[in-house]
Structure 1
């Protein structure tokens, strides 16, 4: 059996097996800007991996029964039971949930479920909870002649492709195809300021400084920050507030949040993440883009890629500190994917120039 350890990697934490990093586990942990969160999750996943290792399995071959067995073990193998045990169990369950959701997006891990003939209505507490980490997986009924054994498994297929960030042409195409000024402004704040979409949707009216053209990001994963707004975006924000938003407040009264639902029973309440995701995909279709490849995080990634390029070009003032403060990261470790992508783009450009040079030489 292998030996798993939790180790510090640069400015975050990860899990190693016999001294070698466990790739997908550590990629998942790097998603968390807060090192304390990454460390806590690393220890939780280490224990889960050790349990699977004793069964002779790894996380890609684990079944629901394996996860249930693990949760049972951490719940009842200790000397204490009660509230502490329940909290611990909930913590482990949450980490496993998020880990498999990450794998679904990263490796397109797909759920194959064999549904027993017996009704699930009387299943134990664990059934409905454990399945949460595969709630976006595809459900299928398979088996010999339609009969099922009640087993559950996961398999890998080709990685799903999605748009990581936008070109200026794509930004223009999307920005001009929203059906409302509100949605256009939400999109442009994510692209131009690098805000997480949840940060944008939870902004309050008082968080925008009209005079200084600065937005205050309070609902952040790491720390609060102030971001300067350019002239064009400032005009759009003020126009939205003075028209669409004012009209809503005239009907429902004073509202705290900046971006409001404008109709239905939720009028005057903040726009929900899932609502905006569907709005963005609809906009992508109207712009002639593949909606399946458009994700809400691409706006924030666009800003990160832009700053990474400016930093590589040596633009004055674009320092590590500026990068971290703008994006709301805890360290530069989160910038690595964007800097790496620049290296790949540069290598592609060099390769293209070499190929073009060879063609010229062959013709001469």
Structure 2
């Protein structure tokens, strides 16, 4: 099976269809993708769902069933199939094998499949999605905000969702950040790193920046959602936000424009290719990922775009920022996401607080 990118005349961005082994369009998936597009799902989300459903339809082929024929047990086996290194169905090993996908990745794929079945049930093509969920109710002594709007309804939870081990977020030290910046070969590369580290800006938002989004006189970066970018980089949220940055970062942007940027071929995108057949064209995701691989090789520092974003958010929290301010700066849709992700305590945090406690105690006893 294959996921094929297509361009529709009325759409400024590409869509994706699923082809079977004989290169025929899988009609029901195409209708579902159209539904996602019509209901405003982001192009990157549609792309991801297409690849997740490709895996699911490969599994269906292996068990010899159509989507509307599956049972609760089939979906359960699919979870195991996703994690099995052999890809075999109904094969049980005495010695557990190492999973090829993390719990988080499996959950993302299963969520896409559950959404697909919700769509099929609304079309009347499938019955029984209620078996895929369990309902939970809040404790009687707990009332959530706006609880009166849902007090007679239970919350649906995906039964197949795997428990994810809580991991402390990896962050970098100030010295590591400096080392990475020194290892950069150009102002462009330094600017990319600084926007992610100092602004907490996502990689898609960085690559989608236009010069009109950079407010030099007020040291601000505007994060604007656009339906389509040539390099297929998209802002995750449709909400526009403004990120304040330092004068030093804005000076780096100015130097980049003066000394490195070719205005004749660059157009309105901030980040462009410097060499090769794509000279002057907007940078794509893989170019930035290659940059991070080169930096890791030069410095022995494991770094990704999200590690820089995590580092920025963690520094804000540790310096006393309220979670609501961090949420707005990062562009999270819900403050709970910010709290769950970044309000964490590492061993160093605990040691630091204990030292503060000892100092206060000793000062009282003196």
TM-score (norm 1): 0.51
Number of equivalent positions: 220
3-state SS of the aligned residue for 1:215? strand
Q: Does 1:176 align with 2:178?
A: no
Q: Does 1:296 align with 2:305?
A: yes
Q: Which residue of 1 aligns with 2:157?
A: none
Match of 1:262 among 255, 258, 274: 274
3-state SS of the aligned residue for 1:111? coil
Matches within 5 A, 1:54-133: 65=59, 72-74=66-68, 111-113=85-87
Q: How far apart, in 2, do the equivalents of 1:302 and 1:226 lie?
A: 19
Give the conservation status (yes or no) of the 8 Å contact 1:261–1:270: yes
Cα offset, 1:320, TM superposition: 3.5
Decide whether aligned partners of structure 1 residues 287 and 257 sit closer, same or farther in structure 2, where only a CA change above 3 A counts: same
Give the conservation status (yes or no) of the 8 Å contact 1:262–1:268: yes
Q: Which residue of 1 aligns with 2:331?
A: 328
Instruction: Mark the runs of 5 or more structure 2 residues left unpaired by the alignment.
Output: 1-39, 71-77, 89-104, 107-164, 226-234, 359-366
Q: Which residue of 2 aligns with 1:221?
A: 236
Matches within 5 A, 1:1-364: 65=59, 72-74=66-68, 111-113=85-87, 164-219=170-225, 220-222=235-237, 223-245=239-261, 248-250=262-264, 253=265, 255-289=267-301, 293-311=302-320, 318-342=321-345, 345-349=348-352
Q: How far apart, in 2, do the equivalents of 1:294 and 1:228 lie?
A: 23
What RMSD over aligned residues (CA atoms) do the two structures have, in Å?
4.3
CA-to-aligned-CA distance 1:260-317 (integer Å, 9 cap, x gap): 001111111111111111111211222232xxx4222111111111121123xxxxxx
Give the conservation status (yes or no) of the 8 Å contact 2:195–2:206: yes
The structure showing larger relative contact order (alpha-carbon pairs under 8 Å, at least 6 residues apart) is 1
Instruction: Mark the runs of 5 or more structure 1 residues left unpaired by the alignment.
Output: 1-35, 49-61, 78-96, 115-132, 135-158, 312-317, 356-364
Cα offset, 1:199, TM superposition: 0.6
Q: How far apart, in 1, do the equivalents of 2:306 and 2:171 lie?
A: 8
Cα offset, 1:257, TM superposition: 0.5
TM-score (norm 2): 0.50
Q: How far apart, in 2, do the equivalents of 1:307 and 1:353 lie?
A: 20
Q: Which residue of 2 aligns with 1:129?
A: none
